[in-house]
Chains A and B, each alone.
Chain A
Amino acid sequence: MTLLEVRNVTKRFGSFTAVDDVNITIKTGEFFTLLGPSGCGKTTLLRMIAGFDAPDNGQILLDNKDIIDLPPEKRPFHTVFQSYALFSHMTVADNIGFPLKMSGKTSREIKIRVAETLSEVELSSFSHRYPHELSGGQKQRVAFARGLINQPRLLLLDEPLGALDEKLRENMQRELISLQAKANVTFIYVTHAQNEALALSHRIAVMNQGKIEQIDEPSRIYNFPINRFVADFIGKINMLDAQVIEASGYHLKLKVTGLGEVMAPVREHVKIGDQGILAIRPEQVRIDPLGSEVAAKFQLVGKIKDFLYIGDVTTYLIELPNSIRIEALQPNSFPGHAKLFEIGDPVVVSWQEHSAQFLPD
């Protein structure tokens, strides 16, 4: 069921177009993420949904009713700010009770609800502390609790984990997922961290320069990026310049600069002569010692140029003929070995045809 619809929304600051004709539909109960590099317009879009900024064009519809003219306090949404925006002159309990107080609840009711919420987020013993007496993770939880206490239709989160260290961030990610499920509130989450987006979201909208590049489920965003930007922004990927020379049935025949003819799965709206890239994820690239039996149809001989050991995996940089370089990722499932190959080793590089993709420019 559609909860919120952003229709043809544009926002300009002077001559700079921050959000450019954006269309998004958000379903009830969804964890929806706006992902993009800083300055891509994701926070501006969030602020327009919250009501802090008004779009220059377009509509924002809640339950099919335009809410552009509603001030932030009249919209049944709450925001969790990057800086948490806790009221420094109020205790934890007063902060969490603030939305209830504003909606005119009695102090008795506020007290009960706040106590409930505090125990839910395991902060009961902190109710009389001030924000400056809390740790980063505790402030975070207060901000979530404050945003969720009066069951908003939509919770907007603006890089809420940005200020936390990595370990804590991972814990908070889990907590967020369970929090959303428990509270049964729709989330719109803004982040520039692609791994966070992949881990948390039901759907992701990848934004760039004010425009939406792709909206899809995390696994589809990762495995089937729609264009060069999305492929490059999400995870690591090898990109080789290519041109379509044949398109028939399920296959594309590509001419890859320096490597010759390579096959790739067909995709819509691609015709002979199109320029673009052949994209393949490092973990899809297989490397074997020279001379071993390799089943894949496509294979090349190369040389190990460099490697990077990061514990669970090792990334190898391989030089192919004509100085073309490609990265391959190998899991280190055999303890005791940092690497399977040495620099200078000749290897066979191969991949399955369906794991490579042609992305037109």
Chain B
Amino acid sequence: MPLRHFFLWIISLLVYAFLYIPLIIVVVFSFNDSKLNAEWAGFTFHWYKVLFNNHEMLLAARNSLIIAVSASILATILGTMAGLAIHRYQLKFLPFLAFTPVAMPEILLGVSLLLFFLQVLNLTLGMLSIIIAHTTFCIGFVTIIVRARLQGMDESIFEAARDLGATPWQTFRHITLPLIRSAIIAGALMSFTLSIDDFVITFFTKGVGEPILPIQIYTMIKVAVTPEVNAISTLLMLLTLTLIIIATRFDTSMLKGDSKQPR
């Protein structure tokens, strides 16, 4: 192995370490029998017990799940349609519309949505406003993923399908949909994690009533740091990890990427 390669490996391993060590520390300290996040004082499940007796937190988790599921379903449907439309009609303006929420700093979207809900829709902030807000920023991601998949494809297969007797709908049903299925699943999954994960937009569009998970965590971090945060963090990580594993089981081509598609 040339020296150059060796250095590349070292640096890469350090970057991986940089990415993982903080998260590992959070997990480790969630089992730490101490109120301080400083030194290891022995193993305990204490913080998980505390967490599961925290009704506000459980309610927040439930709310966040409802939001994430609804927003990712809506965003996947709308985003897939947008991706198909952009590709099919080679639209020039729509990519801009769909990708703007992705490219803009989240805070701008948060502020805009806040003003939009209050001043235009006269909507009381709450679960509904958060679901709409999350859908809005997830659409762009789904659109990008679906469109990228379509762009990588040989155009002539769609023409071939029509040529061989398929109506536009049959072409969509038998050719387009199976080919972009893994992209749609990836988009849905991404939307779900983005929604569960989102703090900024939730922060701006939340009402006063319902507790939401990221907001609860934020408050805990800001006000009083206890290892209970480590426990909820660990559980959340477990959730996203499981989701990703399920997704890759469900559709292995997601892991393999486009290697199955010729050219």
Cα separation A331 to B170 with both chains bound (whole Å): 57
- Minimum CB–CB distance for A9 against chain B, Å: 19
Task: Judge if B125 is at the interface, Cβ distance under 8 Å.
Answer: no
**CB pairs A–B below 8 angstroms (8 shown):** A51-B162, A79-B159, A85-B159, A87-B157, A88-B179, A98-B161, A99-B164, A150-B165
Tell whether, in the assembled complex, residue B162 and residue A73 are in contact, meaning their CB atoms are under 8 Å apart.
yes
Tell whether, in the assembled complex, residue B175 and residue A102 are in contact, meaning their CB atoms are under 8 Å apart.
no
Interface string of B220-252 (1 = CB under 8 A from A): 000000000000000000000000000000000
Tell whether, in the assembled complex, residue B159 and residue A99 are in contact, meaning their CB atoms are under 8 Å apart.
no
Tell whether, in the assembled complex, residue A71 and residue B162 are in contact, meaning their CB atoms are under 8 Å apart.
yes
Q: A147 — nearest CB in chain B belongs to which residue?
A: B164
CB < 8 Å neighbour of A88 from B161, B162, B170, B262: B262
Task: Judge if B257 is at the interface, Cβ distance under 8 Å.
Answer: no
Task: Judge if B160 is at the interface, Cβ distance under 8 Å.
Answer: yes
Given contacts A72-B159, A88-B262, A103-B165, 19 further A-B contacts (CB under 8 A): A51-B162, A51-B163, A72-B163, A73-B166, A77-B163, A78-B163, A79-B159, A79-B160, A82-B156, A85-B157, A88-B157, A88-B260, A89-B178, A98-B166, A102-B164, A102-B165, A102-B166, A131-B262, A146-B164
Cα separation A72 to B163 with both chains bound (whole Å): 5
Task: Judge if A81 is at the interface, Cβ distance under 8 Å.
Answer: yes
Tell whether, in the assembled complex, residue A102 and residue B170 are in contact, meaning their CB atoms are under 8 Å apart.
yes
Q: Given A79-B159, A98-B161, A132-B260, A85 and B166 touching (CB < 8 A)? A: no
Q: B166 — nearest CB in chain A belongs to which residue?
A: A102
Interface string of B138-160 (1 = CB under 8 A from A): 00000000000000001011011
Cα separation A215 to B103 with both chains bound (whole Å): 57
B159 surroundings in chain A (CB, below 8 A):
50, 52, 72, 79, 81, 85
Cα separation A18 to B174 with both chains bound (whole Å): 33
Tell whether, in the assembled complex, residue A99 and residue B165 are in contact, meaning their CB atoms are under 8 Å apart.
yes
Interface string of B119-140 (1 = CB under 8 A from A): 0000000000000000000000
B178 surroundings in chain A (CB, below 8 A):
89
- Minimum CB–CB distance for A107 against chain B, Å: 14
**A51, A82, A102, A130 — which one has the most chain B CB atoms within 10 A of its CB?**
A102
Interface size class for chain B? 20 to 34
A103 surroundings in chain B (CB, below 8 A):
165
Task: Judge if B261 is at the interface, Cβ distance under 8 Å.
Answer: yes
- Minimum CB–CB distance for B170 against chain A, Å: 6
Q: Given A88-B260, A88-B262, A72 and B156 touching (CB < 8 A)? A: no
Tell whether, in the assembled complex, residue A50 and residue B174 are in contact, meaning their CB atoms are under 8 Å apart.
no
A52 surroundings in chain B (CB, below 8 A):
159, 162-163
Cα separation A6 to B179 with both chains bound (whole Å): 36
**B163, B167, B179, B263 — which one has the most chain A CB atoms within 10 A of its CB?**
B163
Tell whether, in the assembled complex, residue A73 and residue B260 are in contact, meaning their CB atoms are under 8 Å apart.
no
B160 surroundings in chain A (CB, below 8 A):
79, 81, 85, 87
Q: Give the 4 A-B CB pairs with smallest separation, nearest first.
A: A85-B160, A102-B165, A85-B156, A99-B164
Cα separation A132 to B167 with both chains bound (whole Å): 26
Q: Given A88-B179, A98-B161, A73 and B167 touching (CB < 8 A)? A: yes
Interface string of A84-101 (1 = CB under 8 A from B): 011111000000001101
Cα separation A10 to B212 with both chains bound (whole Å): 63
Q: B253 — nearest CB in chain A belongs to which residue?
A: A89
Cα separation A88 to B179 with both chains bound (whole Å): 8
Cα separation A52 to B161 with both chains bound (whole Å): 11
- Minimum CB–CB distance for A148 against chain B, Å: 11
Cα separation A86 to B166 with both chains bound (whole Å): 14
Tell whether, in the assembled complex, residue B166 and residue A132 are in contact, meaning their CB atoms are under 8 Å apart.
no
Task: Judge if A83 is at the interface, Cβ distance under 8 Å.
Answer: yes
Q: A94 — nearest CB in chain B belongs to which residue?
A: B174
Interface string of A63-78 (1 = CB under 8 A from B): 0000000011100011
Tell whether, in the assembled complex, residue B156 and residue A83 are in contact, meaning their CB atoms are under 8 Å apart.
yes
Cα separation A356 to B221 with both chains bound (whole Å): 95
Q: Given A131-B262, A132-B262, A89 and B164 touching (CB < 8 A)? A: no
Cα separation A99 to B159 with both chains bound (whole Å): 13
B260 surroundings in chain A (CB, below 8 A):
88, 130, 132
Cα separation A79 to B162 with both chains bound (whole Å): 10
- Minimum CB–CB distance for B221 against chain A, Å: 46
Q: A76 — nearest CB in chain B belongs to which residue?
A: B165
A88 surroundings in chain B (CB, below 8 A):
157, 179, 260-262
Within 8 A of B (CB), among A128-169: 130-132, 146-147, 150
B164 surroundings in chain A (CB, below 8 A):
73, 78, 98-99, 102, 146-147
A98 surroundings in chain B (CB, below 8 A):
161, 164, 166, 174
- Minimum CB–CB distance for A338 against chain B, Å: 43
- Minimum CB–CB distance for A331 against chain B, Å: 42
Q: A89 — nearest CB in chain B belongs to which residue?
A: B178
